[in-house]
Chain A
C-alpha cells in the first residue's frame, strides 16, 4: 500500500527514533511511504487557538499536497496530535463548501486545491483498518509473549469521538489494545490509558503537567506493566524525556519505559532493538529487552499458561 506520509515535526526533531522506526518497519508491512516533505506543521491546536483560518489553510495545503501524491491510497501520520489537529481542520473544511472555497482561494496562487473527503489515518488506524490484525498476526516472528504492555493513547486520537468517527462499528479507542494482543503481548488495564500526558501545559503549569505524567506512569507501575506504548510523540516527551522530573513531582521512582508504536510492532516483527532506536530513550527499556541477546522479554511476568 502506497501512502502520502506525514511524519510530523517532533518525530523528526526531539523523538527522531519514531520516524526512524516507522521508516524501518514500513517495508515489512508492505507500506510504501511517499513523504510529504513540503508540508508544514499541523499547528498542534495552538495555531488554531491563535487563528482558526490560518490553521485550516496550512492544513488544507498539506491535504492538497497529499491528494497530489501520485498513486497513494490515503494520507498516513504517526502522531496522535497531528491526527487530532488535522481532523479538526478537516472537519470544518469538509462541512462547509463555501468555507472550503474561501480557503482554497488562498491556496490557488500555487495551483493547490483541497477536495473534500481525504482519508487521513494514523498508523494505528491504518494498521487495524487497512492492513488488518490477522495479517499483522501472521507476520509476527517474535511474539511479545509475557510482555505486559500498557496502552497510552493520547487525547487527540480518542476525543472528541464524533469528530474522529469513533463508535461501536469503529472502536478506534480500543485499537492499541487490539494491536498489543495481535503482537502476542499482554494488555495492561490501568487508569491512565486514555488520559492526558500533560504536555500541552508544560510551559504554563509545569507542576500540574508533570503531575499528570507521573500519575499515569505510577498507575502503570502499580498495575505491574513492563512498559507503555504510545502513538503520540508529544506524550512520549512528557512520559519519557520528562520522566526524571515527573518522578520528583510525584515523589516516587517510576522507571517505566515508554515505546513508540512502530517500535513495539518492529520488535514483534523481529527487528533488532538498536535499529528501532530503542537505545535513544531517556528511560532505558531494559525491562522490555534483554540487550545481551536482543530478545524481547517481559521481566517479572508470570510464566505462560500459569
Chain B
C-alpha cells in the first residue's frame, strides 16, 4: 500500500459558486487506477464527488478525464505513473475540455460529442439491392476501417482538440473518425455524398489543424487525425471534390508547386489556394480579395526585408538535374494503378 494525494477540480453549476480544487489522500497499491483512487475518496471522505464510470476495464469509455493536464481514461491510468507525471507529486484530475461541465468530473457528452457523432450520419446506408444473406466483402477493405472501429466514444480526443478550442462548430476528431468508418466501408452507397458534405462544411475535414493532439489523446490508438487525412485523400484524389473552403485547391497547389520548383514557393501558394492551381490564379477575384486583405502583413514584411521581392518574383528552386529526378518520382508514383499506403496500426513493425 502507498499513499497518493489527488487534487480534484470540483464544480457544481447549481450551487452558484465557482469551481475550486480539493485534495484527498488515499491508500492504494501503485498499480491501481486513478479511478479507484477517486472512488475511494468518494467512499471515505465525500460522497458528493461526481465521476462517471462503469466497466473499470478501459472498454466502456465512461471515465474520460484530464489527468495532470492530459486526457485519458481514469481506469486506464496507474497511480504510480500518474504521480510521476504530476508537477508537484499531487495527481491533478479535471473534467475533460471543450465540453460543458455537469458536475465535478462529469461533462455533458450529449451537448458536444454525441451531437457531432450524429452530424456524420453514423450508420450504413446500404448499396441496393441488399443481398438476401450476408454481405461478402474482401478482407482487406474491412481491415482498412478497423482502426476507426476501435473507438470507444470516450471523448478524450474531443477534450483536447485545438481546432475545437477556437471553433466549437468543428465537426471534430471523434465524429470524423466515425465518418471514415463508413466512407471506407465498401457496402456503403453514399461515399461521394458523405465526402462532399464534409468537404463543403466550413467546419468539416478542412478545419483540422493537423496538431496531432487527438492521436496522443486516444487510449485506443484510433489516430483520428490520420482518419481525417484519409477522408481528405479520398475527397481529393478519388472524387476530385472541389470545395468552397480552399481545401482541395490548397492541396493541389502545394503538390504541384513542389513538383515544379522542388521546394515550396510560398508566394504562389496563397493565391493558388484561393484561385486554383495556375500561375494566373493571382488575377482571379477570389485570390485578389485575399491578397488585398493580407496587404498590411505583406507590406510590413516587404518593408522589413523579411520577404524580399526576389523571394516573390524569382523564387528558390532546385537545380535542373534534381528537378528532373523529382519529376520522374512524381510521374512514377502517381502512375501506379493503385495508391500504395502503409497503415502501421494494421501492418505493425518488422521484428528486428
Check if A109 sits within 8 Å of B216, measured CB to CB. Answer: no
Check if B251 sits within 8 Å of A109, measured CB to CB. Answer: no
Tell me whether A252 is interfacial, beta carbon within 8 Å.
Answer: no
With A201-B163, A244-B300, A245-B294: A58-B329 Cβ-Cβ less than 8 Å = yes
- Give the Cβ gap from B203 to chain A, nearest Cβ, in Å: 8
**How many interface residues does chain B have, given as a range?**
35 or more
Chain B residue numbers with a CB within 8 Å of A16 are 306, 308, 311
With A54-B333, A203-B273, A281-B306: A41-B212 Cβ-Cβ less than 8 Å = no
Check if B211 sits within 8 Å of A14, measured CB to CB. Answer: no
Tell me whether A17 is interfacial, beta carbon within 8 Å.
Answer: yes
Per the bound structure, the CA–CA distance linking A171 and B209 in Å amounts to: 24
Check if B245 sits within 8 Å of A159, measured CB to CB. Answer: no
Check if B297 sits within 8 Å of A58, measured CB to CB. Answer: no
- Give the Cβ gap from B161 to chain A, nearest Cβ, in Å: 10
Tell which of B251, B254, B305 touches A280, judged by Cβ atoms closer than 8 Å.
Answer: B305
Tell me whether A200 is interfacial, beta carbon within 8 Å.
Answer: yes
Chain B residue numbers with a CB within 8 Å of A279 are 304-305
Within 8 A of B (CB), among A1-34: 9-10, 12-17
With A13-B264, A53-B339: A201-B206 Cβ-Cβ less than 8 Å = yes
> Of the 9-residue stretches B42-50, B126-134, B344-352, which lies at the interface with chain A?
B344-352
Tell which of A12, A212, A245 touches B297, judged by Cβ atoms closer than 8 Å.
Answer: A245
With A40-B318, A49-B232, A91-B344: A155-B339 Cβ-Cβ less than 8 Å = no
Tell me whether A282 is interfacial, beta carbon within 8 Å.
Answer: yes
Check if A52 sits within 8 Å of B340, measured CB to CB. Answer: yes
Chain B residue numbers with a CB within 8 Å of A215 are 165-166
Tell me whether A208 is interfacial, beta carbon within 8 Å.
Answer: yes
Q: Nearest chain-B residue to A48 (Cβ)?
A: B229
Tell me whether A198 is interfacial, beta carbon within 8 Å.
Answer: yes
Q: Chain B 312-352 against A: per-residue CB contact (8 Å), 1 yes, 0 no?
A: 00011011001001101110111010011110100111100
Check if A109 sits within 8 Å of B328, measured CB to CB. Answer: yes
Q: Which 10 pairs between the two chains have the least Cβ-Cβ distance?
A: A159-B212, A196-B211, A9-B264, A203-B273, A211-B166, A208-B167, A204-B206, A155-B211, A46-B254, A53-B340
* Interchain Cβ contacts under 8 Å between A and B, 30 examples: A10-B266, A12-B316, A13-B265, A14-B266, A14-B307, A16-B306, A16-B308, A43-B258, A46-B254, A49-B229, A51-B255, A51-B333, A58-B258, A61-B325, A61-B329, A97-B350, A106-B332, A110-B325, A160-B216, A198-B209, A201-B208, A208-B163, A208-B209, A212-B162, A212-B209, A215-B166, A245-B294, A245-B297, A279-B305, A282-B297
